[in-house]
Amino acid sequence: MPQNSPGAAVYVLGVRVDRVSQAQALATIEQMISQRKLSGDTLPCRQIVTVNPEFVMTAQHNHDFRRAVNSAALVVADGAGVVWATRYLGQPTPERLTGTDLLPMLAQRCVACGYRLYLLGATPGVAEAAAARLQELAPGLQIAGTYAGSPALSEEDAIIERIREAQADVLCVAYGAPAQDLWIWRNLSRLPVAVAIGVGGAFDFISGRKPRAPESMRRMGLEWLYRLYREPWRWRRMLALPRFAIQVVLRGRK
């Protein structure tokens, strides 16, 4: 069962996507944080997932990953392919919300409400650079902490202790999928934050370490093509995209 489903959901090849606008997603996250604050930090952490076609294809054979996504408190459509699939299935989600776009918007809300953000993951130095950029975009933002760490099991206890000491409200985890979402799912009951979000490569883009696709390409749903051009080694992983489209057309409506 979803931890706290925000409303109508559509299942794309068995993977849940909540049909929410960016504004609704942000309001839902803000509500989760304020609920936990009101509970005196007794409510368990809620998981937020940003789903793209690669997630959906991984979830076809990785059952823990599918369970993690489908039981999350909020699942937003990160990829243009996922938005297309929801339209094709006749239950459209209004728009895309990537981790890279969500973070600056969430940072603004954190400033307004005094919530503290923790950035976990990416290569050393990148989370710090992303935090500095977020503080430029959202002056007054409180960064509870940053740490590269690793998704290895052996590091979990120490990482969770760091987050506890930092007294964060929102945890963003950038270990790539499915590692980041499984990391959050495994540790959900003991994560000392209100919400934990898997944000993929968001710190790389926000820090400027990697350039993001031009706005025009993003509008056309071609961000994946730009990523492939910049990082051709991704070609094998990106075969998930045509496989995803074919599967949605062949099996999606069944």
CB of 112 to ligand UDP, least distance (A): 27
CB of 78 to ligand UDP, least distance (A): 9
Please identify which residue in the block is written with the tokens 């054979």. 61
The stretch among 13-21, 38-46, 67-75, 115-123 that binds ligand UDP (CB under 6 A) is 115-123
Binding mask 145-184 for ligand UDP (x = CB under 6 A): -----xx----------------------xxxx-------
How many angstroms separate the Cα of 53 from the Cα of each of 82, 169, 194, 229? 6, 29, 27, 18
Choice between 84 and 203, CB closer to ligand UDP: 203
CB of 133 to ligand UDP, least distance (A): 14
How many angstroms separate the Cα of 97 from the Cα of each of 32, 187, 239? 18, 24, 22
Please identify which residue in the block is written with the tokens 């803000």. 30
Name, in order, each residue with C-beta under 8 angstroms of 75's C-beta and a sequence gap of 6 or more.
9, 16, 17, 18, 48, 49, 51, 69
Choice between 151 and 252, CB closer to ligand UDP: 151
Residues 184-203 that bind ligand UDP (CB under 6 A): 200-201, 203
- Compute the residue count for the chain: 254
Give the separation between CA 188 and CA 82, rounded to whole angstroms.
26
Give the SS3 label for residue 186.
Answer: helix
Q: Which of 14, 123, 219, 242 binds ligand UDP (CB under 6 A)?
A: 123
Residues 33-62 that bind ligand UDP (CB under 6 A): none
Binding interface with ligand UDP (CB under 6 A): 121-123, 150-151, 174-177, 200-201, 203-204
